[in-house]
Chain A
């Protein structure tokens, strides 16, 4: 159990276009999902906290109009990179925190990541 998927795994787009990345918890419900960005040879940087049914909370320095987050159900959160530019090229990773039940308190499960390349 506790599988998180991301789609797509890789995407290449032209500068100025928008890209949507999906994060799904496959076998558990997640009230909270997190979005991270990771540049090569660097650590994961938290971008935002996605809460089901409410607005996302963005970390300092992350533009909410640039990175649109929607958490419409307990198993799906989406990140849309709007008007993407080459500097947005990165590895985007989501994680999901189980609401309750069999999982360890506060344990987060990570998706496999999405490699975004903006030309």
Chain B
């Protein structure tokens, strides 16, 4: 995904609804993808990951979908809660010879309204 942006897209979600956050990545050689949550003034927090040999992975209240054909990644959060308000980043591992370097997407600000 694009790693430089002048502003963060915002997703406003009502408490209890499901959230879907999308991410487009650029490198077809990327073999591992991660979603992170970042609260204001803190470091990124791991949410869920997926390897390129999978197209879906589920965690607690979260699901990641990977579509390699169109280089698209999504994060679904079920029953969104106020504590889910944060910025969400997708990140792609740049391939086996990249020593684990990650490229981060632009991020999406999720705002949960009561």
Q: Contact: A111 with B43, CB < 8 Å?
A: yes
Q: Contact: A93 with B100, CB < 8 Å?
A: no
Residues of A near B4 (CB, < 8 A) are: 42-43, 45
Interface members, chain A 27-56 (any B CB < 8 Å): 32, 34, 41-46, 49, 51
Q: Contact: B101 with A49, CB < 8 Å?
A: yes
Residues of B near A49 (CB, < 8 A) are: 99, 101
Interface size on A, residues (CB 8 A): 27
Per-position 1/0 for B56-100, Cβ under 8 A of A: 000000000000000000000000000000000100010000011
Q: Which of A42, A45, A108, A112 contacts B100 (CB 8 A)?
A: A108
A54 to B47, CA, bound (A): 31
A41 to B109, CA, bound (A): 9
User: Taking the nearest CB of chain A, how far is it from the CB of B70, in angstroms?
Assistant: 21
Residues of B near A115 (CB, < 8 A) are: 41
User: Taking the nearest CB of chain B, how far is it from the CB of A25, in angstroms?
Assistant: 13
The answer to whether A43 and B100 touch (CB under 8 A), given A93-B43, A104-B49, A115-B41, is no
The answer to whether A43 and B104 touch (CB under 8 A), given A32-B99, A115-B41, is yes
User: Taking the nearest CB of chain A, how far is it from the CB of B77, in angstroms?
Assistant: 20
Check: A106 CB closer than 8 A to any chain B CB.
yes
Q: Contact: B89 with A110, CB < 8 Å?
A: no
Check: A107 CB closer than 8 A to any chain B CB.
yes
Nearest A residue (CB) for B32: A106
A51 to B101, CA, bound (A): 12
Interface members, chain B 16-53 (any A CB < 8 Å): 32, 36, 41-46, 49
User: Taking the nearest CB of chain B, how far is it from the CB of A24, in angstroms?
Assistant: 13
Which of A's residues lie within 8 Å of B, judged by CB?
A: 4, 6, 32, 34, 41-46, 49, 51, 57, 91, 93, 95, 97, 104, 106-113, 115
Cβ contacts A to B, 10 pairs, < 8 Å: A41-B5, A42-B107, A43-B107, A44-B44, A45-B3, A45-B4, A45-B104, A46-B102, A93-B43, A107-B46
